Structure 1
């Protein structure tokens, strides 16, 4: 016991290792400087790639396979390039309108090609679940939603709120399996809402039934006339800057005996993580919460069960997206991306290649997805 205390006391003075919240002032400042230097070097590589530097995919992946295990295992604090990554912000969400412009309001035809667009499985911008034998992207997304159904304990007749419902894939699939389930979708993206509104006019879509209601707006401003049996949120909390405020809001929408399932990219390192590249080009103010972050916020909602989904699942999903993205160039290159298409293509190739490889490093044991079942505290 005494040796453990001595080790902890010594470690707080050593930069880059262990928990940043316990560091001495000098060790903390030194670590932040080193994290900034690493981020600048990564951004230099990204900018070179975007500018036309040819790096074979195999070489790119080899660099990450060599470097990321060192960072995950021994230097995790270097993976937080900005100060805001390490703590909650004052706002429920940051840069939400900017996020819509640079990410979710891009041409729908491009997303359809990259993510897939089938009669029941609409584009879904989160991981598939491959560990139960899925052989393709569509099956992996169906298996992932089936897992959500089981873990949230969805029953026929439930009224469910889907916070950040994307293009309506999850509500559509679940309503196809439960004839009396009702859904309310809450989404800030106008482009995604327009997609769902078209489906709501399509008699072959389950979104066209009276069992689906769409609310376009922000969580902080949302109000509903009735409380929900279940709430689910898939792939949204990477964009939420304040878990405390978000859980307080969700709790206010939940029946006294209701359940919430949060699905989120998570990291099993002492601190939260982010990427300077994705912050600048893909997900403004996006962060990956530490695997213990959600359970540590138990004021309004408490975690009663949690699971870790190995990162190999997201690796396979992102690899499938990259293959589909590459295969669709001829049909999507004339769309309006708000910039030169060649530049857009290289930004997105770097993004899909970068994240797809990072999730596979360390056999997916450090960077994957967390699922949290919550009830009223």
Structure 2
């Protein structure tokens, strides 16, 4: 292999031709073209592909006016599945690790909390809506992020047919936004669990005085019985090897006539590995389910009452988060360096492109136990009444 010094600012033909499949160029004038600042970028793309691209961006080796547009093109052309030969070996090794090892074991469960959710509540307070809902908003009739998240929470509660006096389990409760909303608006008693110390502290503060109990706990150790169960934006951290345990746990905890709403990002087809950059720097040990993987795990455990896909809404949500993050950067810069800014910018806008390409999906499934007697009617609201 040529040394790094052998590369100039002229890109190797293999990279130029590969990106041309997505109508992306090096040092072009279009907003989605890559602007090269350091020629070592080429070596990093050839040897590490997605991981190399992300690390090089954070370190300032290249820029792009519209990362969201760049990633939409790369993913629509499926260049994430077409890596140079050397980089392909690393992806194969990652696929083998996913298959051979349980990377979402109990011992590793707190890693994503420590690495991502505990990064700093000030970042998320600046980026998210006032309830700090860190999942896809619902934009059917919403005018802004605040309204879109409120509509999403209302839709979840109505899909669950929440009634005053019921008990609700929130698996992956985040900063307590849904727990507080359900307790205040629907009169339910909520138990929520998270694996993030920072989330737990702020969630308890935000839910003070309400019938809400919040715990730092892995879902696998939960006990009790609940009328309804909800899990929003947490299933992505469960891992394929644990799908059976996850749904068996939910089945054990759910009342016979209850409902379980699962809100999760998904992918359009089975993927052997997670994006290496996202896995290393944003969501360690993450795994997005495919429709087949999810239905395989549910078969024999739950009845699928409803499967709602509103993936395009995540594109708009992420673009809002990115805009708010950039607007807040002058005050965040006191605590965080420029590399952190570039990392978060890259994360949010690459994910927007992922959903815009339609590889990324956002699903809400309503699940019930086979012994449920009540008839379920699907909910597709616009704005709440």
Task: Pick the aligned partner of 2:129 from 110, 116, 121.
Answer: 116
Which residue in the other structure is 2:32 paired with?
none
Gaps of 5+ in 1: 1-36, 202-207
Moved more, 349-358 or 271-280: 271-280
Give how far 1:323 is off.
0.4
1:307–1:370 Cα contact (<8 Å) kept: yes
1:300–1:376 Cα contact (<8 Å) kept: no
1:183–1:213 Cα contact (<8 Å) kept: yes
Distance 1:74 1:56, change over 3 A: closer
Structure 2 residue 135 is matched with structure 1 residue 126? yes
Which residue in the other structure is 2:327 paired with?
327
Which residue in the other structure is 1:99 paired with?
112
RMSD: 2.7
Which residue in the other structure is 1:51 paired with?
59
Distance 1:134 1:148, change over 3 A: same
Structure 2 residue 357 is matched with structure 1 residue 348? no
Distance 1:38 1:306, change over 3 A: farther
2:50–2:80 Cα contact (<8 Å) kept: no
Gaps of 5+ in 2: 1-44, 371-385
1:162–1:232 Cα contact (<8 Å) kept: yes
Which residue in the other structure is 1:29 paired with?
none
- C-alpha distance in 2 between matches for 1:301 and 1:94: 26
Structure 2 residue 68 is matched with structure 1 residue 69? no
Distance 1:216 1:345, change over 3 A: same
Which residue in the other structure is 2:274 paired with?
274
Structure 2 residue 366 is matched with structure 1 residue 373? yes
Instruction: Give the TM-score normalised by the residue count of structure 2.
Output: 0.75
Give how far 1:142 is off.
1.1
- C-alpha distance in 1 between matches for 2:47 and 2:185: 46
2:129–2:149 Cα contact (<8 Å) kept: no
- C-alpha distance in 2 between matches for 1:215 and 1:353: 32
- C-alpha distance in 1 between matches for 2:290 and 2:306: 13
- C-alpha distance in 2 between matches for 1:233 and 1:91: 17
Distance 1:141 1:86, change over 3 A: farther
1:261–1:374 Cα contact (<8 Å) kept: yes
Distance 1:41 1:298, change over 3 A: closer
Q: Secondary structure at the match of 1:154?
A: coil
Which residue in the other structure is 1:183 paired with?
190
2:74–2:80 Cα contact (<8 Å) kept: no
Instruction: Give the TM-score normalised by the residue count of structure 1.
Output: 0.77
Give how far 1:86 is off.
6.1
Distance 1:137 1:44, change over 3 A: same
Distance 1:38 1:172, change over 3 A: farther
Distance 1:299 1:87, change over 3 A: farther
Distance 1:72 1:251, change over 3 A: farther
- How many residues are aligned here? 317
Which residue in the other structure is 1:174 paired with?
182
